């Protein structure tokens, strides 16, 4: 009883989850009547427009209002843990040289205090811009085992700036939360999206 009182006093008692009702379907918006034209045209020889069903124009969504992708690439490859996997992918002048899956480990530390400490699991992607224009790449990777079970996913890319022409750069794609079985992977899916 004292523990419950203590939890309630500290505000640690769990509240029931918030119940959100499902959205109600929206009524289709009425289409505006066509504006009268200044000149009269001859009626078409086909059936009147009232006989043809009218379809509303598709709505713009938030996803399509952003910058459009320049290019997209996706493929699966054989997975290797803690080894450089050479790749030969070229997407609009962005050449993907290799990918490397491993855990980050501190090589040396202050008086050896942190030596050998692990701090994250990653896929490291090396790219070279062989084109004439700067590139803004985004990457995604998913690792699966022999039974097709998902073992982990990571994504990343350019946050500030671009990969300039002739420049080689590496990107760390971080695996978080679900990552402990990555070393037993069999295949990985790799996707690249370039933006202007």
CA angle 153, 64, 177 (to 5 degrees): 15
- Which residue stretches of the chain have pLDDT < 70? 1-69, 109-112, 116-118, 196
pTM, entire model: 0.61
Per-residue pLDDT, 82? 94
Strands 94-105 and 118-129: antiparallel
Per-residue pLDDT, 120? 81
Q: Domains in the chain, please, with CATH?
A: 69-106+115-195 (2.60.210.10)
- Do 131 and 95 touch, CB atoms closer than 8 A? no
Kindly report, residue by residue over 24-41, the tens digit of the pLDDT: 555 555 555 555 444 444
- Do 174 and 122 touch, CB atoms closer than 8 A? yes
Residue 160 CA to residue 4 CA, distance in Å, equals 49
């Amino acid at each position: 009883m004292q523990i419950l009182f203590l939890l309630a006093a500290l505000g640690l008692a769990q509240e029931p989850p918030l119940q959100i009702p499902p959205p109600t379907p929206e009524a289709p918006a009425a289409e505006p009547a066509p504006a009268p034209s200044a000149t009269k045209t001859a009626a078409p020889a086909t059936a009147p427009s009232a006989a043809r069903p009218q379809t509303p124009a598709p709505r713009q969504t938030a996803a399509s209002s952003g910058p459009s992708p320049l290019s997209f690439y996706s493929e699966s490859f054989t997975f290797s843990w803690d080894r450089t996997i050479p790749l030969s992918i070229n997407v609009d002048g962005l050449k993907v040289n290799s990918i490397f899956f491993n855990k980050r480990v501190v090589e040396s530390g202050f008086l050896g205090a942190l030596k050998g400490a692990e701090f994250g699991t990653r896929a490291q992607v090396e790219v070279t811009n062989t084109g004439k224009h700067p590139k803004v790449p985004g990457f995604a990777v998913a690792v699966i085992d022999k039974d097709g079970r998902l073992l982990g996913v990571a994504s990343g890319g350019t946050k500030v700036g671009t990969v300039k022409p002739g420049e080689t750069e590496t990107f760390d794609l971080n695996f978080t939360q679900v990552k402990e079985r990555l070393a037993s992977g069999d295949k990985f899916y790799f996707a690249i999206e370039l933006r202007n």
